[in-house]
Structure 1
Amino acid sequence: MESAPSLPPSVRLTLPDGQELRGRLLARRWTPAGWRYQVSVVLWSATAAMGVEPADYIIWVPAEGGAYLRPEDGADYTTVPTEGPPTHPYLAPPPPGADMRWAWTIEQTRAAGPGSRPTGTLIHEYSCADAPRNGPELTLEEALTAYARPGARACQHCGAAEVLTRL
């Protein structure tokens, strides 16, 4: 007789307004901005018949000193899939004490012709030779948010495409 798969361990998720929910820790991942935890919380979802049913809401939450997640007493987190810090130079965090910053910028692409409207967004590393000069300086979180928008692309000439697509 096969045993049922075990549920992921539970955690406490703090919402922006201070409410606390019980969720499940699905995965842990290292990003250049620090650790992220994938959490599942069961919430109500509307149905086509104008009813409600429980549905999983899954989100990646930053670690940030335990401001968003707290472990549950007695929960075993050793089975949670974990992707540790990568060894690729574009993805690895800078060495301790290094005076480095990881900045990004956005280029609004336009169709050919004078007075044309913006058609998309191209994200570059701030130091990319193809990046617009004096463009806005973005953090990694801001770059990831911009990259998630419809029509956004990452530059193929700098590390932006490799880094942002992996994250």
Structure 2
Amino acid sequence: MSDPARQPPRVWLTLPDGQEVRARLHAKRWTPSGWRYRVGLPVWSVTAAQDVEPVEYTVYVPAGDDQYVRPVEGVDYSAVPIEERPPSHPYLAPPPPGADMHWAWTIEQARVGGPGSRPSGIIVHEHGCKLAPAGGAELTLDDALNAYRRPGTKACQDCAAAEVLSRL
């Protein structure tokens, strides 16, 4: 038998028919629809030799308002691993269902030696970035990606541009 101190912590799991059973909380995961808990349920399984053996069935259930998973009093959950975290910037998160959202970008003509000097490349900014030139044209994501692919183009490190465009 495995060491109980190394097993995932126990939780109360509410089944679809309303029964509450003890389960084990294996991990948390971020999905486009929110956090999910990966819980393991002890069940009996029939082997190929027609014997019965205990196994654990794991499933992801929505996290949140204790509708599905509730903590067991006195149990420490601080060591539960997070399999996937939410995006680090709102641009990397999927938009909420039905939202009419778009990414907006602008470019800056970088110059060696400041204004009036020769161009040295392009910097792509999130539209509205404090470092972007005032009154810059609003670009679509495709326009921003096309600009970003050009040699010598950089993405602003102050706004979301570097993180978002490098991933895309």
Question: TM-score, normalization: structure 1?
Answer: 0.51
The answer on 1:100 being equivalent to 2:99 is yes
Q: Distance in 2 between matches of 1:48 and 1:99?
A: 48
Partner of 2:55: 55
Partner of 1:107: none
Amino acid at match of 2:93: A
RMSD: 3.0
Cα 1:90/1:60, change in 2 over 3 Å = farther
Q: Distance in 1 between matches of 2:49 and 2:87?
A: 46
Cα 1:23/1:4, change in 2 over 3 Å = closer
Q: Rg larger in 1 or in 2?
A: 2
Amino acid at match of 1:26: H
Partner of 1:39: 39
TM-superposition CA deviations, 1:58-89 (whole Å, max 9, x none): 11111142111110001111000123311366
Percentage of matched positions with identical amino acids? 56
- SS of the residue aligned with 1:67? coil
Q: 1:28 touches 1:38 (CA, 8 Å); kept in 2?
A: yes
Amino acid at match of 2:99: M
Q: 1:31 touches 1:91 (CA, 8 Å); kept in 2?
A: no
Cα 1:13/1:4, change in 2 over 3 Å = closer
Cα 1:22/1:99, change in 2 over 3 Å = same
**Which stretches in structure 2 are left out of the alignment for 5+ residues?**
102-166
- SS of the residue aligned with 2:65? helix
Write out the 4+ residue segments of structure 1 that deviate beyond 4 Å after TM superposition: 88-91
Q: Distance in 1 between matches of 2:54 and 2:100?
A: 43
Amino acid at match of 1:61: V
Q: Distance in 2 between matches of 1:18 and 1:77?
A: 24
